[in-house]
A and B are shown apart, each in its own frame.
Chain A
């Protein structure tokens, strides 16, 4: 090495390097500011609203008196997201299995992938609009706005997320596992259901949890499918309240107590979604695939 003389890096290049690296680090810091601010404000404004009765009473919507709690919104969100999950997960995982195990690189599989991609890009409000046109205006099921119609919109939104994440994980299942099952005489359905699916399960669950987190925070598709009401509903054919819709409704009111309710509801919603997201990451880390 002694024969080679390295030209020292000039002061100018050194300076540019320092500046650029500092700039990149600074911008990264800037990216974290909004999150910190949002969380700070959520805690500051939301904690004050929260008490036991906040979760156990329905909102009254009253402008002057007691604004009540957010029980109906929590129940509605859980019921609607639950139903949407129950529909979107089997269908979404089923399509993913078909893509990986049967469709592969056929023309039909390419078409299905393309349409799933299209679905991913559709704005959530357009899904809401679609359900509004087809189910709400038509009065399907003898109701105009209804919880199950909100669930339908949410399921449409979740479907592509579930399918795409499941497809990625299913593709990671080593072929040798499938071949081993076939070699042992297992029929295809058994191989898929008993070998491939269990291996991919943690990854699929992660995708499902992220889809649920996404659906739970959606407002736009619920506004004109499930509407906003005060009373708690357990019947899917009734109008159902939801946390995001309640927040949206209350922001529009120039009334401090209603706004406080909105902050409390927002804190509740964000806490729910953050827990789901972190749980999803935990499961992902545990997974043996990827």
Chain B
């Protein structure tokens, strides 16, 4: 702005020919930062290789197939079949998606399209606050509040709807459903935030066109907003799924930690993450047990990697439909240059 205050450095009149010594800091900065970035890649690669190496004993002794698909997890008998854990992780995450995503999308729609303008900001903050509650606090609350208060309702539901699959039978205090419910609450902020950003990118023209054709507000949402935002909402849901799969402490406190496959959603189970948190202490002296737990970590890592890759693909595609190329990461989804190209 005030060019006069910045005087070109001393006698070296031409900035176009800087001496090598003067260019040194530039090079240092550039190569230093490059080294840092390459270091991050190296670290993650090392991380992955280390997990594979350390879990090898269990795969060579038990076999990959029977580690993943055998249902007996009895460390005292050297039996390491992770199927109950895998099942628990998938079942609780599925419950979380079924319960959490509709609510997340509804909050996003309400905040972006329906709520009075005054309360949009505060409402956003409040929904985001759910993300600020630590996992262990969710666990504490689930353990002392949710489990006892929900049990009568669960009993009633299990009796009344026992004809449905996976419903009915005995209702234990800690169970898949409670874990799934807690996870649903925990993934709500992220799924809602991403849905919100994607819904905000829906071109105004589309919505106005729908309204001008005589659509009601809901028809406008159904015909103009949701189809446009579908990809991004799916991406947000997948990111939530990734979170749910890896969530440890809250689930550990409310799932019962029994290495069995429950027949209904109201029975106890175990998850991959929970077993690591619970058993690493006893596993310190038993190399095979330790390898089995590290293998559980590896499976978790691969699962979340896959889920996040799919999520990224969804969100990137949704993003590419609205913004110009070289789209940034997720947070860039709030299409700053709202153009009106149709998604294909």
Residues of A within 8 A of B (CB): 6-7, 9, 13-14, 16-17, 20-21, 23-25, 27-28, 30-32, 34-35, 37-38, 41-42, 45, 91, 94-95, 97-99, 101-103, 105, 108-109, 111-113, 115-126, 129-130, 132-134, 137, 159, 164-165, 167-168, 171, 180, 184-190, 192, 213, 216-220, 223-224, 244, 247-248, 251, 259, 262-263, 266, 269-270, 273-274, 277, 281
- Point out which of A23, A102, A125 has the most chain B C-beta atoms below 10 A from its C-beta: A125
Nearest-neighbour CB distance to chain B for A202, whole angstroms, equals: 15
Cross-chain pairs A/B with CB under 8 angstroms, 23 sampled: A7-B214, A28-B110, A31-B103, A35-B133, A37-B145, A38-B138, A94-B36, A98-B36, A101-B33, A102-B33, A103-B34, A105-B326, A112-B37, A120-B308, A123-B247, A126-B297, A129-B51, A130-B51, A134-B50, A164-B329, A251-B139, A251-B144, A274-B129
Q: What is the CB-to-nearest-CB distance from B20 to chain A, in angstroms, rounded to a whole number?
A: 13
**Interface digits, B202-222 against A, CB 8 Å rule (1 contact, 0 not)?**
000000000000101111011
Give A176 Cβ to nearest chain B Cβ, in Å.
11
User: Given A38-B137, A125-B276, A27–B102 Cβ distance below 8 Å?
Assistant: yes
Chain A hits for B219, CB < 8 A:
13, 17
- Which residues from chain B contact A167 at a C-beta distance below 8 Å? 328-329
B→A interface (CB under 8 Å): 1, 3, 6, 8-9, 15, 18, 22-23, 25-26, 28-30, 32-34, 36-38, 40-41, 44, 47, 50-51, 54, 102-104, 106-107, 109-111, 114-115, 123, 125-130, 132-141, 143-145, 185, 188, 192, 214, 216-219, 221-222, 242, 245-249, 253, 273, 276-277, 280-281, 284, 293-294, 297, 300-301, 304-305, 307-308, 312, 326, 328-332
Contact B33 A168, beta carbon cutoff 8 Å: no
Please determine whether A125 and B132 come into contact, CB atoms closer than 8 angstroms.
Answer: no
A42 touches B246 (CB 8 A): no
CB–CB B107/A28 < 8 A: yes
Expressed in whole angstroms, the Cα–Cα distance for A48 and B32 within the complex equals: 52
Docked-complex contact A119 and B218, CB < 8 angstroms: no
Q: How far is the CA of A273 from the CA of B132 in the complex (A)?
A: 7
Given the known inter-chain contacts A219-B248, A247-B137, please indicate yes or no for A112 contacting B132, CB distance below 8 A: no
A residues less than 8 Å from B25 (CB atoms): 187, 189-190
- When the two chains form their complex, are residues B137 and A129 in contact, meaning their CB atoms are under 8 A apart? no
Q: Which residues of A contact B18 (CB under 8 A)?
A: 187
| B135 engages A217 (CB within 8 Å) | yes
A190 to B133, alpha carbons, bound, how many Å? 40
The reply to whether A95 and B137 form a contact with Cβ atoms under 8 Å apart is no
Contact B133 A24 (CB under 8 A): no
Given contacts A123-B246, A124-B248, contact A38 B33 (CB under 8 A): no
CA distance A137 to B285 in the complex (A): 10
Q: Is the interface of B mostly helix, strand, loop or mixed?
A: helix
Chain A residues within an 8 Å CB radius of B242: 121
Q: Which residues of B contact A41 (CB under 8 A)?
A: 141, 144-145
Chain B residue with the shortest CB-CB distance to A35: B130
Partner of B129, one of A35, A45, A180: A35
Say whether B248 contacts A123, CB under 8 Å. Answer: yes
B29 & A220 in contact (Cβ 8 Å cutoff): no
Q: Give the distance in Å from the alpha carbon of A266 to the alpha carbon of B137 in the complex.
A: 6
Q: Please give the distance in Å from A165's CB to the nearest CB on chain B.
A: 7
Closest Cβ of chain B to A189, distance in Å, is 4
* Known A-B contacts A98-B37, A247-B136, A270-B133; A220 and B328 likewise in contact (beta carbons under 8 Å): no
Cross-chain contact B33 with A21 (CB below 8 angstroms): no
Smallest CB gap from A244: residue in B: B136
* Closest residue on chain B to residue A259 by CB atoms: B144
A24 and B114 form a contact (CB under 8 A): yes
B137 A25 Cβ-Cβ under 8 A: no
Beta-carbon contact of A98 and B305 below 8 Å: no
CB < 8 Å neighbour of A269 from B36, B107, B137: B137
A-chain residues with CB within 8 Å of residue B51 when the two chains form the complex: 126, 129-130, 133
**A28, chain B: closest CB distance, angstroms:** 4
In the complex, which residues of chain A have a beta carbon less than 8 angstroms from the beta carbon of B145? 37, 41
Complex Cα–Cα for A244 and B192 (A): 26
Please tell me if the beta carbons of B140 and A213 are within 8 angstroms of each other in the complex. Answer: no
Question: CB distance A130 to B50 under 8 Å?
Answer: yes
Bound complex: CA A143 to CA B66 (Å): 36
| Chain B residue at minimum C-beta to C-beta distance from A252 | B253
How long is the Cα–Cα vector from A57 to B312 in the complex, in angstroms?
47
Among candidates A98, A105, A187, residue contacting B34 with C-beta atoms closer than 8 Å? A98
| A133 partner residues in chain B, CB cutoff 8 A | 50-51, 54, 294
CB-CB < 8 A to A184: which residues of B? 3, 6, 8
Q: How far is the CA of A270 from the CA of B30 in the complex (A)?
A: 40
Are B216 and A14 closer than 8 Å at their CB atoms? yes
In the complex, residue of chain B having the shortest beta-carbon distance to the beta carbon of A14? B216
Report Cα–Cα, A218/B136, bound state, in Å: 8
A20: chain B residues at CB < 8 Å are 218, 221-222
For residue B279, give the distance in angstroms from its CB to the closest CB of chain A: 10
B34 partner residues in chain A, CB cutoff 8 A: 98, 102-103, 108
Known: A14-B216, A17-B218, A277-B132. A122 touches B246 (CB 8 A): yes
